[in-house]
Structure 1
Amino acid sequence: MHADRSAPPRGEPGAVHVILGADRTRIVLSGEIDADLGTDLHQATADAEQSGLPIEVDTHHVTFMDSSGVAFLARLATRSQHRVRLLRVPPTVRFLLEVTRIGELLDVVDDDAETQFEARGDGNLLS
């Protein structure tokens, strides 16, 4: 049995995690952020909105993002009471921010020192 060489390589499945902190909400995205995560992205938006805290999105482990991910970031930026911060943005995501101009609605933080995060004492992780 041999592998089908014409099939495109499978990327890392995408994941969305919402972590409630003492003073902000962190959304961690990883893998392929695409239409398959539509429900998860909508739920993350709702969870973050409900917290009422400033929102930061860690994109360090994103390997691919399509229009679903861009729409998610735009939705967060327009619905949040605070300016949304993007942390550790990889080149693929940075390119999309520039091309779509969504980056103008968000703060991109390059300094790792600013990304220290302390989750709530109850360990509240929403996903």
Structure 2
Amino acid sequence: MRDGNSPTPDEQTQAAEVVGEPGAVQVIVGADRTRIVLSGEVDADLGAELAEATSEAEQRGLPIEVDAHHVTFMDSSGVAFLARLSIRSQHRVRLLRVPPTVRFLLEVTRIGELLDIVDDDQSAPFEPLGDGAPTA
């Protein structure tokens, strides 16, 4: 028996389809820069991981680049993360392969003015230190 507030099986299926890809943060330390790879939904659920990535990148003292190519959604937590990185880094932070939804947020919030937004990364290939395994 179903009450009037319970979703029907069709509504449950539709709700499941709306849920996006869970977000992820990886920090990869290279010989000459630190790369932070963001993917999926970058939101408040990633708060601890974003803070840890900021700390680790800051401790390395290398230039930081953020690969946002696989970001499907970003809220104010992601924007705050990028702002925090730009303020704490000794170097100007590079944001690589920015999807349109993220680019819109950067323009509206003007955080994009604090970052170098790079569509086609023509710099030297990124070479991770050690075995190339992410550190976070």
Is the pair's TM-score, using the shorter chain for normalization, greater than 0.5?
Answer: yes
Counterpart code for 1:88: R
Q: Which runs of 4+ in 1 moved over 4 A?
A: none
Q: CA deviation at 1:121?
A: 2.7
* Partner Cα separation in structure 2 for residue 27 and residue 122 of structure 1: 16
Normalization by structure 1: what TM-score? 0.93
SS of corresponding position for 1:119: coil
Q: Paired residue for 2:61, among 13, 27, 52? A: 52
Paired-residue identity, %: 74
Matched, 1:117 2:126: yes
Q: CA deviation at 1:113?
A: 2.9
Q: CA deviation at 1:24?
A: 0.2
* Partner Cα separation in structure 1 for residue 22 and residue 125 of structure 2: 26
CA RMSD of aligned residues (A): 1.7
The structure with more radius of gyration: 2
Unaligned runs of 5+ in 2: 1-7
Q: Paired residue for 2:49, among 36, 40, 61? A: 40
> What is aligned with 1:107?
116
Matched, 1:3 2:22: no
Count of paired positions: 127
Unaligned runs of 5+ in 1: none
Q: CA deviation at 1:125?
A: 1.8
Normalization by structure 2: what TM-score? 0.87
Q: Paired residue for 1:23, among 25, 32, 35? A: 32
